[in-house]
Structure 1
């Protein structure tokens, strides 16, 4: 691993990021063919937050948050900081003071494949965080890592300048080149879901809406009466 800080990373248009933020992670994940989800282990420390932004990455060593401080300098309005340790660690790398610094630079939130602390204060200040752990255990600042290099979280390789969308359902990351398609596909899926919602609210059945009766038949599912079943 090279100990580098990569500068000048291209970012997607912030207007398109704002449009993406109107859609939920589940909707966009389905619209993109179920790709880019970082897994169920990354959970929000708050409820009701939804952010979309451009990725700034920080690769850190276990128990050492030095490169998070280095990453702050590379952040710009509309960014989301994505942090991954070189090996698993539960320590609380991030808290209220770092959040204050990121917020001053217009950063929209944090995704970290490790621990955070000061969660009550983070919620109070409205700084959204998605983390694998919550831990009061602090870190040191002693070991060089890297900023804006590819990192791996949940089996997904995350590149600086990619798009991140996060809400109560988790975190989704995909290439910036796919952002216009993601918005268009999410719009189409949301319209389809609204039509389905109205049909179900009127008493329709998913069996008919999704044409599942033929599938059940092909799978050998039979309808029998209570009496027939207990004969």
Structure 2
């Protein structure tokens, strides 16, 4: 960690596999809404988790963590585990009166090549984060900063935006919102979203031809 604080209160599970980033990227060429239609509208986060800073679109593998309300020690520890293409998915217990993420953590994310940050909680320093380009989604913005005491958990399934997020699963976001995709569904989903996109384009063509 870049901070000189004991992390004894943070438990870490490193025994999990990441989904294939190239396959996630292939699916992420399509809108979240279309992907959600193929998945029968399952796995999409609550609209309260919305784009807050940086680029609005992202994809990657889930690096999940639990934090105590208003505390971000677990986030600092999680970044020691981060690999390129990971998306930090943070269960901040929906606390919006204290932010748990800001521009200094954003700098670490960029150094670790983290693809995005998704917080069921609050963020601050949005102007700085926006200039970095790091995609950040959160429940709220609040300038009040966090404590760094813990406890917390890294690398275990968490709830974020009413969706269970397992470590290593796929996550995709755009201006409409965020969808979480189980690793086991990716191989078949790539072809399914392609077919759905073809159907929708055909429908559009028919509508446009009818008014010419």
The TM-score normalised by the length of structure 2 is: 0.90
List per-residue Cα deviations over 1:69-118 (Å, max 9, x = no partner): 00001110111000002x33112111111111011111100010000111
Q: Secondary structure at the match of 2:134?
A: coil
Of residues 178, 185, 188 in structure 2, which corresponds to 1:181?
188
Of residues 72, 85, 89 in structure 1, which corresponds to 2:95?
89
Of residues 55, 78, 81 in structure 2, which corresponds to 1:71?
78
- Give me the whole-angstrom Cα distance separating, in 2, the residues matched to 1:24 and 1:134: 26
List per-residue Cα deviations over 1:34-88 (Å, max 9, x = no partner): 1101111110014862111100011000110000000001110111000002x33
Q: Which structure features the higher share of strand residues?
A: 2
List per-residue Cα deviations over 1:162-185 (Å, max 9, x = no partner): 110111111110211111222111
Is 1:26 paired with 2:41?
no
Answer with 1 or 2: which has the greater Rg. Answer: 1
Query: How many residue pairs align between the two structures?
Result: 202
- 5+ long unaligned stretches in structure 2: 1-8
Q: Secondary structure at the match of 2:11?
A: coil
Of residues 21, 33, 36 in structure 2, which corresponds to 1:14?
21
Of residues 109, 126, 137 in structure 1, which corresponds to 2:144?
137
The TM-score normalised by the length of structure 1 is: 0.83
- Give me the whole-angstrom Cα distance separating, in 2, the residues matched to 1:107 and 1:150: 19
- Give me the whole-angstrom Cα distance separating, in 1, the residues matched to 2:203 and 2:33: 16
Quick check: 1:20–1:52 contact (8 Å CA) kept in 2? Answer: no
